[in-house]
Amino acid sequence: MDWSKQYFPDDDAQKSATIYVFASDKTDPTHIDEKGCKLVGTFDAELPKPSSVDKKRRGVQVALQVGGTELQVKATSHGGTTTMEWL
């Protein structure tokens, strides 16, 4: 299973975005505090410097890929920087 979403900073001073990854035994959970939902891990994605790109392009594309017993988290900025981690 693959999943991807784009995230943007709240303000110009923000240098990174922390992505929290949760798992649930439910098919379609609504909230992270529901029974059966647990934190798998966190991932910090670096954001491009405000001066290096247009404000509308400071986001990062975060992709999750499940394979076997591991979860790969990859963040790619509009500047081309990619960060990857296994959770």
Instruction: Answer yes or no: is pLDDT of 31 > 90.
Output: yes
Provide the residue range defining the domain that includes 78: 2-86
Cα distances (angstroms) measured from residue 66 to each of 20, 31, 62, 81: 16, 21, 13, 22
Q: By the 8 A CB rule, do 44 and 16 touch?
A: yes
Give the residue with greater pLDDT, 11 vs 55.
Answer: 11
Query: What total number of domains does the chain contain?
Result: 1
User: Over the stretch 70-84, which tens digit does the pLDDT of each residue have?
Assistant: 888 888 877 667 777
Top-ranked range on mean pLDDT: pick from 16-25, 31-40, 66-75, 78-87: 31-40
- In this prediction, residue 54 has a pLDDT band, given cuts at 50, 70 and 90, of low
Mean pLDDT calculated for residue range 49-68: 76
